[in-house]
């Protein structure tokens, strides 16, 4: 259940999947292992606007919405796209970012569209919009073999080992992994799908309005631009 402080509205518990740099990831460079990133900075801004503390819980992407529904978190922020399917079980704020899908594969593979995945082993993150996109494509494109794993780092390992030949990851996240893995390349996809980001809250939560107000202020004050630059210009 929720922590006492959370019940007294003094603290908000955020659930995330900290495998998504630069939005949320473990910074182990300091003395303690800290979850940092653009989403974390936005969450801190919102918490400050609301005058509450922020606690972050790290879990698999696929477990985020179940955790929210089980009251183990007050909100979810994980580069999450407000899809129609998800809107059946949770509420979303206004969007604060828009990403693009890219295909990540071994350098020289030159895969740029769904059709290029015909006959390939494709690994995707469990519960992601990328999983939906590939599974949908596999209905009409021959021989796409789809497997799912929990963490983005695991997808990268599958590619490097050759157990999978492609994955789909959003551009800003793929970029970091490709920069640090010279044997991998990324290509923007012809069809980018639906990739805006928003905060998920329980349906009927009194916080939705407050979150939207804070996000509006974040955008209008120029603070979102500042934070985006901070995390993307590295
Ligand atoms: N935006 C995608 C989704 O909502 C991927 C998010 C993620 O993997 N963190 O499914």
Residue 7: per-residue pLDDT: 56
Same domain, 107 and 45: no
Ligand 1 site residues (CB inside 6 A) read 17, 20, 61, 78-81, 125, 128-129, 195
pLDDT at 1 over 50: no
Residue-wise pLDDT for 187-219, tens only, equals 998 776 678 999 999 999 999 999 999 999 999
Position in ligand 1 atom list of the atom nearest CA 20:
9
Residue-wise pLDDT for 10-40, tens only, equals 999 999 999 999 999 999 998 899 999 999 9
Strands 101-106 and 184-188, by their bridges, are antiparallel
Ligand 1 centre to CA of 4 (Å) is: 30
Angle at 92 between CA 193 and CA 37, to 5 degrees: 75
Mutate to test the pocket of ligand 1, among 83, 128, 173, 200 (most ligand atoms within 8 A of CB): 128
Position in ligand 1 atom list of the atom nearest CA 23:
9
- Indicate which CATH number applies to the domain containing 40: 3.40.190.10
Same domain, 74 and 26: yes
Ligand 1 centre to CA of 104 (Å) is: 15
Same domain, 14 and 78: yes
Alpha-carbon gap, residue 103 to 111, rounded angstroms: 7
Q: Are 162 and 37 in contact (CB under 8 A)?
A: no
pLDDT at 2 over 70: no
Q: Are 6 and 50 in contact (CB under 8 A)?
A: no
CA distances from 6 to 11, 13, 56, 104, 213 (A): 4, 7, 12, 40, 20
Structure tokens at 214: 């804070």
User: 88: how many CB neighbours lie within 10 A of its CB?
Assistant: 8
Same domain, 116 and 184: yes
pTM for the structure as a whole: 0.94
Closest CA to 20 of 34, 36, 32, 44: 36
Structure tokens at 107: 């350098």
Same domain, 46 and 107: no
Q: How many residues does the chain have?
A: 234
Residue-wise pLDDT for 132-174, tens only, equals 999 999 999 999 999 999 999 999 999 999 999 999 999 999 9
H or E element: which one contains 101?
A: strand 101-106
Structure tokens at 103: 């295909």
Same domain, 78 and 140: no
Counted domains in the chain: 2
SS3 55: strand
Q: Are 49 and 217 in contact (CB under 8 A)?
A: yes
Alpha-carbon gap, residue 93 to 130, rounded angstroms: 21
Residue-wise pLDDT for 76-108, tens only, equals 999 999 999 999 999 999 999 999 999 999 999
H or E element: which one contains 123?
A: strand 121-125
Domain boundaries, position 156: 101-188
Domain boundary, last residue among 153, 170, 188: 188
Residue 191: per-residue pLDDT: 73
């Amino acid at each position: 259940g929720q922590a006492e402080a959370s019940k007294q509205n003094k603290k908000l518990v955020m659930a995330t999947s900290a495998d998504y740099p630069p939005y949320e990831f473990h910074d182990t460079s300091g003395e303690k292992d800290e979850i940092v990133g653009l989403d974390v900075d936005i969450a801190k801004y919102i918490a400050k606007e609301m005058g509450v503390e922020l606690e972050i819980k790290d879990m698999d992407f696929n477990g985020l919405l179940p955790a929210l529904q089980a009251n183990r978190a007050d909100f979810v922020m994980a580069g999450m796209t407000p899809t129609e399917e998800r809107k059946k079980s949770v509420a979303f704020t206004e969007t604060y970012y828009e990403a693009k899908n890219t295909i990540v594969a071994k350098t020289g593979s030159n895969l740029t569209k769904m059709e290029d995945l015909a006959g390939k082993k494709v690994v995707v993150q469990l519960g992601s919009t990328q999983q939906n996109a590939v599974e949908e494509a596999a209905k009409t494109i021959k021989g796409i073999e789809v497997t799912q794993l929990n963490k983005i780092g695991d997808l990268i390992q599958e590619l490097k080992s050759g157990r999978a030949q492609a994955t789909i990851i959003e551009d800003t996240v793929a970029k970091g992994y490709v920069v640090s893995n010279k044997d991998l390349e990324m290509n923007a996809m012809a069809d980018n799908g639906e990739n805006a980001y928003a905060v998920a809250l329980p349906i009927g939560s009194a916080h939705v309005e407050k979150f939207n107000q804070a996000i509006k202020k974040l955008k209008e004050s120029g603070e979102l631009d500042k934070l985006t630059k901070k995390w993307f210009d590295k």
